[in-house]
């Protein structure tokens, strides 16, 4: 009688984590950072149709890196959950923290129970009435969730971009300065080395606390060109 092949649970989890990290590292980076009037999302993304940055609810935004089909499914599920909760109770009951917790439970279950983990990292951000009320949550492939302050970077170049943000970001940045900072760091720390990103290669959006109720606004190519002082 042959002895069944055995792999320890610790080894299985390590292999899953390594697999997910390698997949995420192949993704182009995303930067999320606070500015004086809200939260900015900036990603290297040449596609005009396949978004890495989206709105989840009135004051809540979503950003992701990794496999598009996986994080797009999570985005849609988050929108549906937010709509159902807001309709069943009150719009104020839909918060960034509640959606982040829902994503953490889903990703944790998939990582534990499925043979293949999701190759994604997510950010759920909510702008508050004042900058001190802003919330930025980072979620990893295994369901871990972290409450970030000021800024967060995800994707293949996350570590060097985070180090640069630590040295360059400061509270009270204006929108233009925040976007220029994010684009500069994405340009300097790409997979292929430093290069110049054009407005057509950047996807950007903001949660603007000055707007009534729905605060998510995309920055089009013309607006990005104006901010970056380049021609479209």
Read off the pLDDT of residues 43-79 as tens digits, 9 standing for 90 and up.
999 898 999 999 999 999 999 999 999 999 999 999 9
In which band, very low, low, confident or very high, does the pLDDT at 86 lie, cut at 50, 70 and 90? Answer: very high
Q: Which of 155, 105, 146, 142 is nearest to 124 (CA)?
A: 146
- What share of the chain in percent tops pLDDT 70? 97
CATH class of 26-228: alpha beta
User: Residue 94 and residue 89: Cα distance in Å, rounded?
Assistant: 9
Q: How far apart are CA 153 and CA 136, in angstroms?
A: 11
| Percent of the chain residues topping a pLDDT of 90 | 85
Judged against a pLDDT cut of 60, whether residue 97 lies above it is answered with yes
Q: Where are the domains of the chain?
A: 26-228
How crowded is residue 207: how many other Cβ atoms within 10 Å of its Cβ?
28
**The model's pTM:** 0.93
User: 112 with 15: CB under 8 angstroms?
Assistant: no
Sign of CA dihedral 167, 171, 176, 178: positive
pLDDT in tens, 161-194: 999 999 999 998 999 999 999 999 999 987 777 8
**Tens-digit pLDDT profile for residues 122-146:** 999 999 999 999 999 999 999 999 9
List, in sequence order, every beta strand (DSSP E) within 111-195: 120-126, 135-139, 145-148, 151-154
Two tokens, residue 43:
């990603």
Query: Position of tokens 């797009």?
Result: 72
> C-alpha 86: how far from its chain's center?
23
Query: Coil, strand, or helix at residue 232?
Result: coil
- Mark 21-34 as b/e (b = at least 16 C-beta within 10 Å): eebbeebbbbbbbb
pLDDT band at residue 231 under the 50/70/90 scheme:
very low
Judged by DSSP in three states, 31 sits in strand
208, pLDDT greater than 50: yes
On whether the CB atoms of residues 69 and 102 are closer than 8 A, the answer is no
State the pLDDT at residue 8: 87
What pLDDT is recorded for position 1? 54
């Amino acid at each position: 009688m042959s002895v069944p092949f055995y792999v320890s649970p610790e080894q299985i989890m390590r292999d899953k984590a390594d697999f997910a990290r390698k997949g995420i590292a192949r993704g182009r980076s995303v930067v999320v950072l606070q500015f004086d009037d809200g939260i900015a999302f900036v990603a290297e993304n040449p596609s005009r149709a396949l978004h890495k940055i989206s709105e989840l609810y009135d004051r809540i935004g979503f950003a992701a890196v990794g496999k598009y089909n996986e994080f797009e499914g999570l985005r849609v599920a988050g929108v549906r959950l937010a709509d159902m909760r807001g309709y069943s109770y009150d719009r104020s009951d839909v918060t960034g923290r509640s959606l982040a917790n829902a994503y953490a439970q889903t990703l944790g279950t998939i990582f534990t129970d499925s043979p293949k983990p999701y190759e994604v990292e997510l950010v759920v951000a909510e702008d508050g009435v004042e900058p001190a009320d802003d919330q930025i949550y980072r979620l990893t492939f295994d369901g871990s969730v972290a409450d970030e302050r000021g800024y967060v970077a995800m994707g293949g170049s996350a570590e060097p971009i985070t180090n640069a943000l630590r040295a360059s970001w400061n509270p009270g940045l204006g929108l233009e300065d925040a976007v220029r900072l994010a684009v500069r760091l994405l340009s300097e720390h790409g997979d292929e080395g430093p290069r110049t990103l054009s407005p057509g290669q950047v996807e950007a959006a903001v949660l603007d606390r000055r707007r009534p109720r729905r605060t998510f606004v995309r920055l089009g190519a013309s607006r990005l060109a104006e901010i970056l002082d380049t021609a479209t």
